[in-house]
A and B are shown apart, each in its own frame.
Chain A
Amino acid sequence: DQQVKQNSPSLSVQEGRISILNCDYTNSMFDYFLWYKKYPAEGPTFLISISSIKDKNEDGRFTVFLNKSAKHLSLHIVPSQPGDSAVYFCAASLDTNAGKSTFGDGTTLTVKP
């Protein structure tokens, strides 16, 4: 039973446009949601998080939206840059945003110059 799903294995966008990465979850007890970025031959890097009491969190070009009723979150990158090309993982956590997380399978984003 996969509790965190990223249904799009890949996404390709043009430089300067918006990238939207989606994530769905099944466990309504999840309290924190996180996005990580991973380059080849490196470990994932924490990008941005959101608590379940919020519906939006913004950090520079990155914004995460949370729709609890739909059990859905999304990461928006505006504007997209070629350096954003990476694998993006969605993760969900039960009791603290530093603790145990369940990861999705990842979406490979390619930003074309």
Chain B
Amino acid sequence: DAGVIQSPRHEVTEMGQEVTLRCKPISGHDYLFWYRQTMMRGLELLIYFNNNVPIDDSGMPEDRFSAKMPNASFSTLKIQPSEPRDSAVYFCASSLRGLPGQFFGPGTRLTVL
């Protein structure tokens, strides 16, 4: 398996623009997580899905952020409109109940100017 795939790897955009981050989890995994990593706040969970259903979105900072998982092999995290404080590395991870640990993608480095 290729592991968790994220695209794009780098994104530079201007304030006010819409940003869409994409994730393909490992085939067969039933959990999918979106994280954000910053120097100030460390690695924080934004939202996670179980069997494509959002379970906990309490980490989503505000209404500008939304996430979807239309099927077991694809998820998106959208920021609209983007702001400079959204600049961070966004990780997607997947896991399988019964096996330990989450498998992380390489991350998307987002810069909002």
Contact = CB atoms under 8 A, between A and B. Distances in A.
- The interface size bin for chain A is 20 to 34
A54 interface: no
A42 interface: yes
B95 A99 contact: yes
A7 interface: no
Interface centre among B44, B97, B105 (most CB of A within 10 A): B97
B106 interface: yes
A103 B105 contact: no
Contact of B31 (A42, A49, A98): A98
B36 to A, nearest CB: 11
Given A89-B43, A103-B42, A105-B42, A98 B99 contact: yes
A46 B31 contact: no
Contact of A99 (B31, B103, B106, B107): B31
B4 interface: yes
8 nearest CB pairs, A to B: A46-B101, A43-B104, A98-B95, A49-B100, A97-B100, A105-B42, A103-B43, A44-B104
Contacts of A96: 97
